[in-house]
Amino acid sequence: MAYELPALPYDYTALEPHISKSTLEFHHDKHHAAYVTNYNNAVKGTDLDNKSLEEVIKHIAGDASKQGLFNNAAQAWNHSFYWNCIKPSGGGTPTGPLAAKINEDFGSFEKFVEAFKSAGTTQFGSGWAWLVLDNGTLKVTKTPNADNPMTAGQIPLLTMDVWEHAYYLDYQNKRPAYMDTFVSSLINWDFVAENYAKAI
């Protein structure tokens, strides 16, 4: 049951000028595609072949002998999730129950943004910043490399890719500028709100 590389939910030029066509082509067609190919090759003919990507990630997390498989499985999932977390003309502020919950758990939307950007800034090297639901509470967390909060029992609602390949062609070493743009102009709050509604 091979996992298929999902198509981007928008055109390669749709996120310009914030994320370029070149970045999406490299990021989706090369990096993401490689994780999917490596994952499918690794599970083919094994007892994991008929499990969903989420099941495999949770099943093998923490098993040092399967770290390579975990990395490719989690990166395949993380990227598929990430593409849906951003959209053309995104950003701004959420509304409805999600907005109320952010205000309740962080104190304000501005405090959430501060925590989210801090997670991205302080993730040394490659990794991800996340908004998660953890036992009914919204939290910001960060993970290195391929790690995913679902292995800690948290439910991912939003992620920001802070691997250099996500932004380097457009922002070079200016990760904070990429993060500012991500929050102000890219976040797909409708998708995040859908994730929150399913999780509660």
Express each pLDDT in 146-194 by its tens digit: 999 999 999 999 999 999 999 999 999 999 999 999 999 999 999 999 9
| Whether residues 102 and 76 fall in one domain | no
Backbone angles phi, psi at 141, to 5 degrees: -140, 170
Q: What is the mean pLDDT of residues 142-148?
A: 97
Domain tally, the chain: 2
Question: 15 in a domain, yes or no?
Answer: no
Which residues belong to the annotated binding site?
27, 79, 161, 165
| Whether residues 156 and 112 fall in one domain | yes
Of 45, 65, 85, the domain-final residue = 85
pLDDT in tens, 45-70: 999 999 999 999 999 999 999 999 99
Contacts of 37 (CB under 8 A, 6+ apart): none
| Whether residues 120 and 167 fall in one domain | yes
The CA distance from 107 to 113, in Å, is 11
CATH number at residue 190: 3.55.40.20
Q: Where are the alpha helices (DSSP H) in 31-66?
A: 33-43, 53-60
- With pLDDT > 70 as the criterion, what percentage of the chain qualifies? 100
| Whether residues 125 and 31 fall in one domain | no
The CA distance from 30 to 36, in Å, is 10
CATH number at residue 35: 1.10.287.990
Contacts of 25 (CB under 8 A, 6+ apart): 12
Of 85, 120, 141, the domain-final residue = 85
pTM of this structure = 0.96
The CA distance from 56 to 73, in Å, is 7
The CA distance from 104 to 125, in Å, is 31
Question: 7 in a domain, yes or no?
Answer: no
| Whether residues 102 and 194 fall in one domain | yes
The CA distance from 51 to 43, in Å, is 10
| Whether residues 124 and 162 fall in one domain | yes
pLDDT in tens, 8-46: 999 999 999 999 999 999 999 999 999 999 999 999 999
The CA distance from 73 to 52, in Å, is 10
Residue 35 lies in domain: 21-85
Question: 12 in a domain, yes or no?
Answer: no
Which residues belong to the annotated binding site for Mn(2+)?
27, 79, 161, 165
What pLDDT score does 2 carry? Answer: 83
For residue 1, pLDDT over 70 is answered with: no
| Whether residues 63 and 116 fall in one domain | no
pLDDT in tens, 117-141: 999 999 999 999 999 999 999 999 9
Identify the bridge partners of residue 137 per DSSP, sorted by sequence position.
134
What pLDDT score does 72 carry? Answer: 97
Question: 165 in a domain, yes or no?
Answer: yes
Q: What is the mean pLDDT of residues 85-113?
A: 98
Of 85, 118, 139, the domain-final residue = 85
Output the average pLDDT for the chain: 97
Question: 13 in a domain, yes or no?
Answer: no
| Whether residues 123 and 190 fall in one domain | yes
| Whether residues 109 and 50 fall in one domain | no
Cross-sheet strand order for the sheet of 127-134: 137-144, 127-134, 155-161
